[in-house]
């Protein structure tokens, strides 16, 4: 274990994350030739209230979840919902490219089945655990066995994560409505899941820049005009980053002083 100062130094600065996100947005806008006139043609500012409330709500349950099984629990909730959304869109014959739908429909059940089988109690995976990243993934999936087998004790974690994802997706939906896009729930969930297919804890610098680009194109792939998709992601991520940046900077300063004592 490193010292407290080392831990703080390893944590990305929220201002740096915001700067990277802004650069990514400018690059996407420049490359795609987004027209501001078209983006704001159906602008509805009242939806910004919903974005703000949803983002505030999303932070309430997140601190209740133990970090050890956080990544596994994230996907144990989001992935099945995205999978069902993809299956529903396939059945409905929705105009969404199959290369986006089929991986969600097929790989999620197969991935969960394989992961739970590999991490079943008593199974030796010493060879696989020699690889650092794979060992972390296996440990995370292994936590699901405990989460599933003790529903009474772990239900607060499941409910908290469900509330977190629901609030985040509502925030993204409201950001889309700000720019005149009324997307079906299945498409919003699918785009959101695709945009966060690699979560913020798995990416360098908390996914800044990468998330903005991937989420923008994920929305475009499910039928949102690129300009509106970019504007909605900027709005969503603005609240997503700003709401956490101010408290985290204050907490950082307070924790440094407390831990020093």
pLDDT, tens digit, 9 for 90 and up, residues 75-96: 888 899 999 999 999 999 999 9
Give the residue extent of every domain in the chain: 4-260
pLDDT at 48: 93
**Which pLDDT band, with edges at 50, 70 and 90, does 4 fall under?**
very low
If one compares 10 and 137, the residue with the highest pLDDT of the two is 137
Which band of pLDDT confidence, cut at 50, 70 and 90, is reported for residue 156? confident
Q: What is the pLDDT of residue 42?
A: 84
Q: What is the pLDDT of residue 178?
A: 95
Global pTM value? 0.78
> Model confidence over 180-215: pLDDT tens digits?
999 999 999 999 999 887 655 555 555 666 778 889
Average the pLDDT over 125-148 and give the result.
Answer: 65
Per-residue burial over 168-187, b = 16 or more CB atoms within 10 Å of its CB, e = otherwise: bbbbbbbbbbbbbbebbebb
Task: Report how far Cα 75 is from the mean position of its chain's Cα atoms.
Answer: 9
Q: SS in 3 state form for 197-236?
A: CCCCCCCHHHHCCHHHHHHHHHHHHCCCCHHHHHHHHHHH
């Amino acid at each position: 274990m490193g010292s407290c100062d080392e831990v703080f130094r390893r944590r990305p600065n929220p201002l740096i994350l915001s700067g990277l996100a802004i650069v990514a947005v400018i690059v996407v806008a420049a490359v795609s030739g987004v027209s501001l006139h078209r983006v704001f043609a159906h602008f509805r500012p009242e939806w910004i209230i919903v974005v703000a409330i949803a983002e505030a709500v999303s932070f309430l349950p997140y601190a209740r979840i133990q970090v050890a099984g956080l990544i596994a629990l994230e996907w144990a909730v989001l992935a099945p919902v995205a999978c069902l959304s993809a299956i529903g869109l396939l059945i409905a014959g929705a105009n969404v490219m199959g290369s986006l739908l089929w991986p969600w429909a097929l790989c999620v059940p197969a991935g969960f089945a394989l992961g739970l089988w590999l991490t079943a109690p008593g199974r030796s995976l010493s060879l696989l655990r020699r690889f650092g990243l794979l060992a972390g993934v296996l440990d995370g999936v292994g936590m699901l066995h405990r989460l599933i087998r003790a529903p009474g004790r772990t239900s607060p974690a499941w409910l908290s994560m469900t509330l977190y994802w629901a609030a985040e997706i509502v925030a993204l939906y409201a950001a889309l409505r700000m720019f005149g896009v009324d997307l079906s729930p299945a498409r919003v969930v699918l785009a959101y899941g695709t945009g966060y297919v690699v979560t913020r804890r798995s990416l360098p610098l908390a996914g800044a820049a990468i998330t903005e680009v991937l989420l923008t194109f994920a929305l475009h792939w499910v039928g949102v005009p690129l300009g509106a998709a970019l504007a909605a992601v900027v709005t969503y991520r603005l609240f997503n980053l700003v709401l956490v940046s101010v408290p985290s900077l204050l907490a950082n300063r307070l924790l440094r002083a407390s831990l020093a004592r």
